[in-house]
Structures are given as C-alpha cells and as structure tokens.
Chains A and B, each alone.
Chain A
Amino acid sequence: MNLETFRYDNRIVRAFAIATIVWGIVGMLAGLLAALQLFWPGANFDLAYTTFGRVRPLHTNAVVFAFVGNAMFMGIYYSLQRLCKARMFSDRLSWANFWGWQGIIVAAAVTLLSGFTTSKEYAELEWPIDIAIAVVWVIFTINLLGTIVKRREKHMYVAIWFYIATAITVAVLHIGNSIAMPAGWLKSYPVYAGVQDALVQWWYAHNAVAFFLTTPFLGLMYYFLPKAAERPVFSYRLSIIHFWGLIFLYIWAGPHHLLYTALPDWAQSLGMVFSVMLVAPSWGGMLNGLLTLRGAWHKVREEPMLKFMVVALTAYGMATLEGPLLSIKSVNALSHYTDWTVAHVHTGALGWNGFLAFSMLYWLFPKLWNTKLYSVKLANWHFWIAILGMMFYIVPMYWSGVTQGLMWKEFTSDGFLQYPNFLETVLQLVPMYGLRAVGGSLYIVGVLFMVFNLWQTARAGQFVPDVEAQAVPLRSQPAHVESGPIYKHRWLESRVVLFTVLSLVAILIGGAVEIIPLYLIKSNVPTIASVKPYTPLEVLGRDLYIREGCVGCHSQMIRPFRSETERYGEYSKAGEFVYDHPFLWGSKRTGPDLHRIGGKYADAWHFNHMEDPRTMSPGSLMPRYAWLLTQKLDTNSLPARISALRKVGVPYEVGYEQGQAQQDLAAQAAKIVTNLKQGSVESAADREIIALIAYLQRLGTDIKAVAPPAAQAATSTVNQP
C-alpha cells in the first residue's frame, strides 16, 4: 500500500473557535440590551446608535452570522479535513475566509449601528458588504470543494453532503435577495417591490434559517455525535433520506412567513403544505441523532459535550415540530406578529445552534490543546444554567405571545374590540419581558463559565497546530468491481461535481416554481389608480423610517380579519405596495400596525410623539427619537435616490430630480411646518422630523383618495375574528 503522510490544519479551527466565543458574547449582550429596552425605554440611552431599531438587527446579525457562522466554519474546517483525509485545499484560502468573514462582521456592526440598513430581515447589510459576503463565500466554497476533490477517502460521508448543500444554497439565496440599485455608497433600493420583494425576502430568510442555521449544523451533528459517542450513526440509510427530504422540502416553505398577507393564496398554501411535510425529515434526523446514543446513554452522564448535543437535538425536534404548527394558517392567525415567533426562533437559536456550538467547543478544545477539559463540573454548571436561562426566556415569550394574540382578537359582547388601545395589550406583557431578560442573562452567565473553563483547558495543554495522519491516495485505491444499485450509489456519492449540480438543481427548482409566477404578477396586480409614487420628501422620510429600524416593531400589513380592520382600518391590498422598494410589512408588532396611520393624527401629535412617546401615550415602551427634531435633513442625496428608484421602476419623470423635486420637497415641508404651528409646535422646515411626518401621513391614504373597483368589490373580510 502506498501510504501518504499529511497534516491536518488545527490553526484555522482554533481561529474560528475563538471568533465563535468572542462574537457569541457580543451578539448575546446585544440581545440582552435589546431585551432590556423592551421594558425599560431608558436603556436606549436616547442615542441613535444604541436605540432598539438598530440594536435588534445588530443582535440578529451577530448571533446568526458571527456566532453561528464562525461555529459553522470551525466545525466544517475540523471535520472536513478528517472526513476527506486531506488538509484543506489551500491554507491561504482558509485564512482569506477567516479574515474576510471577521472583516464583514466588523463592517456589519459599524454600519448597522450607524443606521445603514436595507431593512430586510437577516439581509440588512448594504450592497458593498453584500458583495464582500459573496466574495468570501465563494472563497469558502472553492476551499470546500477543492478539499473534497483532493480527498483520500473515496466516499463522501453524509456530513459533507450537508456542507455542499449549504455552500451552494447560501450563495444562491444571498445573491438572489441582494440584487439592488445603489443610490450611494451605503444606500440602495431593491429591484423588487411590494409583494415580489416580500416573497423574495422570505424565500431568502426562511432558507437562510434552513441552509445557514440548520443544514451545516446537521452535518456537524452527523460528524461530532458519532465521534463523541464513539459509535457510528444509528442509521446511515435514514441520514440519506433525511438529507434529500430536507433540502428538497425546505426550499418551498418560505411563504409561510406571509400567511394572510397580500401574497397570492396559492403561494401561501404551497408554503403551508410543504412546511407541514417538513416535520418528517426533521424528526427523522433528530431521532437518528438521539438513537445513535442507544446503548451509550451512560456516556451522556459523563461527557458534557454529549449533554449539550442531546439538548441541541431535542431543541431541534421541538423547533421543527413547532415551525410546521405555526405554518398552519389558523394557528398563524393567532401567532403571527406576536412573541410566539420570538419564542420559536429562540428555541432554535439558544437550544439548537447555541447548545450544538457549545458541544463542539467542549469537545474541540481538549483535542486542539491535547489535554483534558479543565473542569467537567463547571461544564455541568454551564449546562444547567443555560437550560434554566432558556426556560426563563422561552416560557415567558410563549405566555406573552398567546396573551397578546388573544387580546388583539378579543371582542365585547356588543361587537367592539375589548382592548381598542394597542398599548393596553403591550403593558400586559411587561412582566414577561422582564423575565425574558433574566433568562438571557442566565444564558450569558453560562457562556462566561464556558469561557473560563476553555481558557483554563487551553492554558493547561499544549496547542497542536498540525496533526499528522496517513492514508492511501485515491489513485492507489482499488477500483470497485461490484455492479447493481450499490455501484450506482457509489458512483454518485463519489462524484462531487455531479452531486453539487444535483443539489443545486433541487433548490433551484423550488425557488423558481415559487418565484417565477410572482414576476407574472406585476402586470396582474389590480392597478389601484390612486396609488402614486412617494413625493421627494416622503422618499427621504421613508428612508429615515428604514434607517431607524421602525420596521422592527411596526408592521405595515393589515390582515383581512375583523379584529384588524376594526383596529387599523381597511386591510392591505397587493396593489398598494407597487412602489415600495423595499417592502416594509414587518414581522413583529411590538407597536401597532402603521399601514393606515396616515391622517389618523395631526402632524403635531407625531412631532411630540417622536420627541417623547410617553407624552402622547403614557406608559409607551417606544424609544425617544429626539435627534430627528434637531438633525438636518440630507437633501443632497435626493437626486441619486430618485434616479435609483426610477431605475428600479418607479415612474418619476426623467429629469425630475434636477430642480423640480427639490422645489416639491420644500413646498411640502413648508406645509407641514404650518400644520405644526397650528398645533403650537415650532420647527424649522429642514429637519428630519418633517420628512418622517410627511411619510407617516402618507401611509395607506392613497386608497382612500378614490375607492378602486377591486377594493369595493372585495370589502368582505376573512371569517376570522
């Protein structure tokens, strides 16, 4: 036998491990700050940079892309080399991947806190950073596929399938959802508008959960669990079915984020059906993992890594049962826009991703430093504190979600809303928000225990930068002589390019069938003649709404339920959003829906409310936005913005931005200043607040100008309270 000697690269694994821990703490602290702000408005510090609307996307991006992202790279860089019996394809690419990713994270943190955001959930970063992400992702993919190609192991273990699916799908999703027209270095408008933008965004966001938070971690589970349990996976057959079932079903389920919205009904039903079907492969995978421990449960008692892994799998099972449940339209009618969704995603984030990342860290540190874990007892403390923290987080959020959902829908015996004031339903939740912050704090304390434990472990050991290994190169391995179905199977699983193409086809078919009909809609959305493009002042106001992250707490999508039309007014129509680049439907109502806010209050009310919400709504949890009253509106960027919007299809006349737009802006601003005077408020016309008021007063009013025939014909609402 022609044995080759080679070395596995541990340095890159160590770098990603440290990054995982550092960004994990940053992301969780940002989450804790956001949690405090939700019941204690003072924690916004009256600073634009630290206000909830900007902290929340920082938290989600830091946790998803920085913490989980680095943990994913850590696990893949460790396991891939060993499964391929080869060092990474290129050390240079490995480090370009590492430093590129950390650079993107820093750029993300700085721009998000500075208010540069696209507002699209989990895709908030502006276009130059999006390009950087695409480049780094391509580097990672080349390194991944290159390593697989030069492997010394003929067969690709199932974990590698999950890694390949992750690499190609995330690339497709990221590029598909990020196509935008720049209107400056850190400002862009998506090419899609309204309903189309919503569907593309949730096709992306849903599958980002699937292919960034789920498939790579399933691959890691299939590697690290057998490794730690020192026994092979329960059923390799089941893992094959798990893989193909999962990647083929996930891609269709995105529309379940848009149930009862203005999205076409067929797409909603498609999303719902495929979501329910997803239970099967998800639970197949979970059971496959748990049953791997059959006969080895005593090891779970002794090995902290396995404890975390078991809870991670259980949380995966819970979240993947609950997800389909929430996708059923009648359940979603209650759960959507409430904290129930928050509870659901945190079962996944804290339980599945968090615990699996901790599990890998506890296992890898002793291996990388060639020693034993400093303290098993301390790891057990971490385990129990994290469980407690998770419970204190998730249970109050369920309570809060169901409470608020029911309160929104409660009618008196006379047929009026029981709680017509939205704030009443929010104040009911404050104790739950307090408990949630306790839960989050406990979880972070647990992480600090882990940091100390791992630090001491590394100190006690000696880092092993390279691990020597031996294997026979593929060219020297005997060719297969069998025939029949086995041969076919081996033929596929040993061909990385073919495998990659097949996975790509599987996800592209799903995406295409979902999205192509939406392109046909453009000419089929009933045109509402009175819906017009935003005025220049409103465009800038809308961009301020985006900058401050208002969409994090306020939806702009009134669902066709009596409980919503009573509270907010006429339900939202697809035709009303044709000029909305991006759509701002939102996914959570910490504050009320704003789609019909236009004309509801006087300009002065908005002015005072933005200065201090509690003067107009005593007890309100909304942060103060006092800086909008003093900061000068940037009108220099107006021509670039109008021009970019025209390029993506908003019918502004050619040359409108050269002078006329500025005049229209000044005239509208002067009118608002006059209105404010009537409300005893003095303001200069060139302040940001004026633009924001202009936008808010426009919201949802076009439809009232002339009642369109379609709206008149369909005034009945869905028979749902």
Chain B
Amino acid sequence: MIKNVLSDIGGIGLYGVISVCLFFVIFSGALVWAFLLRKPHLNALSQLPLNDGSHENSQKGNPDHE
C-alpha cells in the first residue's frame, strides 16, 4: 500500500543513500579527528570543569585520565 504512494517520484531511493553516505563521511571524520588528538591536549581540555578561576572549588582532578 505504501509503494503506490510514492511510485511517481523518480530516484526516491537516492535520499536514503545520500543520508547514509553523509553520515558515514562525517562520522569517519569525527573518529579520525578524535584519534589524532594528542593526550596532553585532551588532558588539558578534560580539566576545564575543574578549574573555573574561583575559590568555590579548589580541588583539582586526577590527571591520569585522558
């Protein structure tokens, strides 16, 4: 029943293909990007919530984690 709704739009399958390809490219890009980052930089980034320049919270986190 559903096929007869869209039988007249040419190349409708293309939309699904576009979406999967786009996702694949962007997700792979994000993976590559994330794995190219160096650990000292990641450590510095992950420390950001623990140091806000105030005296509210003076304790620092454990830098062992990436």
Contacts and interface: CB of A to CB of B under 8 A. Distances in A.
A469 B54 contact: yes
Contact of A226 (B7, B13, B49, B55): B49
Contacts of B50: 226-227, 230-232
28 contacts: A8-B52, A82-B54, A83-B49, A85-B53, A157-B48, A159-B49, A233-B46, A237-B37, A237-B66, A241-B30, A241-B34, A252-B23, A263-B2, A264-B6, A265-B6, A270-B15, A270-B16, A367-B56, A485-B37, A486-B36, A486-B38, A509-B22, A513-B19, A517-B9, A521-B9, A526-B4, A713-B4, A714-B4
B43 A85 contact: no
- Chain B binding site: helix, strand, loop or mixed by DSSP? helix
A231 B5 contact: no
Contacts of A506: 26
A471 to B, nearest CB: 4
Which 6 A-B residue pairs are closest in the complex by CB-CB distance? A232-B46, A82-B52, A244-B30, A469-B54, A485-B36, A469-B53
A652 interface: no
A506 to B, nearest CB: 7
Nearest to B7: A524
Contacts of B45: 155, 157-158, 236
Interface in A1-46: 8
Given A469-B53, A513-B18, A264 B37 contact: no
Interface string A490-527: 10000000000000001001100110010011001110
A639 interface: no
Interface in B8-66: 8-9, 12-13, 15-16, 18-20, 22-23, 26-27, 30-31, 33-38, 41-50, 52-57, 59, 61-63, 65-66
Given A8-B54, A231-B65, A526-B5, 7 more contacts: A265-B2, A266-B15, A467-B54, A485-B37, A488-B33, A710-B4, A713-B4
Given A467-B56, A485-B33, A226 B16 contact: no
Nearest to A232: B46
Contacts, number: 165
B12 A266 contact: yes
Contact of B37 (A231, A252, A489): A489
Contact of A232 (B3, B41, B57, B61): B61
A85 B5 contact: no
A188 interface: no
Contacts of A292: 65
Contacts of B8: 524
A280 B16 CA distance: 20
A604 to B, nearest CB: 35
A230 B61 contact: yes
Interface residues of B, number: 50
Contacts of A521: 5-6, 9
Contact of A513 (B15, B31, B36): B15
A556 to B, nearest CB: 17
Interface in A216-264: 222-223, 226-227, 230-238, 240-241, 244-245, 248-249, 252, 262-264
A233 B5 contact: no
A391 B5 CA distance: 43
B61 to A, nearest CB: 4
A486 B23 contact: no
A247 to B, nearest CB: 10
Given A227-B57, A248-B26, A469 B49 contact: no
Contact of A83 (B43, B52, B56): B52
B33 A525 contact: no
Contacts of A620: none
A573 B2 CA distance: 9
A237 B56 CA distance: 28
Interface of B: 1-9, 12-13, 15-16, 18-20, 22-23, 26-27, 30-31, 33-38, 41-50, 52-57, 59, 61-63, 65-66
Nearest to A506: B26
Interface of A: 8, 79, 82-83, 85, 152-153, 155, 157-159, 195, 222-223, 226-227, 230-238, 240-241, 244-245, 248-249, 252, 262-266, 268-270, 273-274, 277, 292, 295, 367, 467-471, 485-486, 488-490, 506, 509-510, 513-514, 517, 520-521, 524-526, 560, 571, 573-574, 710, 713-714
Nearest to B10: A520
Given A155-B48, A157-B49, A237-B42, A489 B66 contact: no
Given A227-B57, A469-B53, A240 B30 contact: yes
Given A82-B49, A236-B66, A574 B33 contact: no
Contact of B16 (A8, A155, A266, A525): A266
Given A83-B52, A244-B27, A469-B52, A573 B65 contact: no
Contacts of B61: 226, 230-232
Contacts of B3: 265
Contacts of B62: 231-232, 295
B1 A571 contact: yes
* Highest count of chain B CB atoms <10 Å: which of A244, A470, A471: A244
Given A262-B2, A262-B5, A468 B54 contact: yes
A524 B1 contact: no
A573 B18 CA distance: 28
A152 B54 CA distance: 13
Contacts of A155: 44-45, 48
Nearest to A157: B48
Contacts of A245: 27, 30
Nearest to B63: A232
Contacts of A714: 1, 4
Contacts of A153: 48
A714 B55 CA distance: 71
Contacts of A489: 33, 36-37, 41
A153 B48 CA distance: 9
A525 B36 CA distance: 49
A253 B1 CA distance: 22
A237 B48 contact: no
* Highest count of chain B CB atoms <10 Å: which of A157, A233, A241, A506: A233
A560 B1 contact: yes
A266 B54 contact: no
A713 B45 CA distance: 62
A331 to B, nearest CB: 19
Nearest to B6: A264
B47 A232 contact: yes
A285 B49 CA distance: 17
B64 to A, nearest CB: 9
A521 B8 CA distance: 9
B41 A517 contact: no
Nearest to A291: B65
A573 B38 CA distance: 56
A443 to B, nearest CB: 30
Contact of B34 (A240, A268, A295): A240
Contact of A520 (B9, B34, B36): B9
